[in-house]
Structure 1
Amino acid sequence: MIGDTDGSTDVSTAITLRREMLESIEHKFSALQMSDDLQWPLITSDGTPRPRPKIERPGRFNVDLESDDDDAEDSALREETLIQAYWTSIREKYRSQRLDVQSLSTSETGDLPENWIVININITDDKSALFISRREGGVEGNQPLVFCVPLKGRRDNGDDDEEDHLGFDDAIGELREIVRLSDEGTKTAVNIKSDDKEARVNWWKLRGDLDTRLRELLENIEFCWLGAFKTILSPWSDTTPEMISDLRAQFDKIFQRSLHVKDKKTKQRR
């Protein structure tokens, strides 16, 4: 089940990236190959987009091969041909990848270096939970680590106080507001004179306030959303199995002692 969940998140990301890459490559050739963009895009059974019908257009000018600018035009033509050949090869590479059930169900992390870690963070459609998965490179068959982290409810005190809850839309709104103010501050910086000390101090104060807001937002996301699950983002420690066994034994002692004291208090009350 864990592997299926992690694989599904990988597949959704891979399909989206592949389609966006193929579409962006097609736009790189739009100046050379115009197509009818009013037609609905078509795809094959394996998800590969079909090319749209080309629109014939007359040449805008004729090149005089006997002019003095032959060398410059030839150089520009060769450069354009090389660029087009490069993107054509990239397009064919992506088109040749068949997105069938067998290929999508096979993990590719085994081909990555062993010190690489792949983290996927996805949010559900209703924006109520995060799916966080972790895969290690270089290890075939290694089971991924997957967490379903609800964005609400883990720290509720039962008082139904919605104001203290950090929602997804609230976090995105705050982030966009910080970026907007940062952009405005960057644009106004050109109007500040070098000898206007007060204006420079105020500008840096606003930048510092934005840094503080961004830090507080990230801290709230780390505490309210991830909590202890943020350890999935940390590198593996050099802890040995013996150390883990010792730690487990210490926890067991604490639990046993706590349960033993609780049983004693219950008997005394009786």
Structure 2
Amino acid sequence: MLHGIDLRLPRGRWTAVVGPNGAGKTTLLKALAHLLPHEGSVRLLGREAAAWRPRERARALAWLGQAEAGAEDLLARDVVMLGRLPHQDWLGVPSPADHAAVDAAMSETQCQAWRDRALGQLSGGERQRVLLARALAVGAPLLLMDEPLAHLDPPHQADWIALVRRHVARGGTAVSVLHEISLALQADDVLVLQAGRLLHHGPSRDPATHRALEAVFDHRIAVHAVGSQFVALPQLQLGSDSNSLATSPSED
């Protein structure tokens, strides 16, 4: 549950949403996507989200959910084509523009090689790249992604960051829930949630953002500068046995 959230997410920037388990990260993202009922007001691209017609909103906002289920027998290319539904007439056939958008999205996420394989035959990382391609195929200016790096190995995590950067460079906006705090620090802005409340919202390079991140995880992590970037490292703690060490638990 969220409490008294009041924030503005500027266009043309990438915002990472972080916080411990149960902080309300997914709830906030779903409220922004108009997927959950909520009190108050959500404005999408300057207009009340509730005022958008569903098809119109689906063209403006692309959603990648957490651990999404899918029709396991659908071919990967058909899954990506689902992202083009907001652009098609009811029971219409895909247009050349739809096919071009699907090809471009699959190329950008490097999943063309298994376009003719069923979703159920793919590994977790392959599946995630297909679902990301589906979101990109929408061609929406706003990308909302919940745990988009799930199952991706480090090289493909780097590819995902480059993809988001290209989207923002083209004038798009991205909001992503991330567990990987060091990768979240590569976003333009970081939004820190705690127990359903907004603890901090600021530039990723701001020392105040770093202090908020350390505080929300009970100082079990520490933010350090490494060259021109910042990384979050777990703080080792001595256990009750002086010969044992405990590291921080994984963040949600």
Q: Aligning the two structures, in what range does the TM-score lie when normalised by the shorter sequence?
A: under 0.3
The TM-score with structure 2 as length reference comes to 0.22
The TM-score with structure 1 as length reference comes to 0.21
Higher relative contact order (CA 8 A, sep 6+): 2
More helix by share: 1
More strand by share: 2
Q: Which has the larger radius of gyration?
A: 1
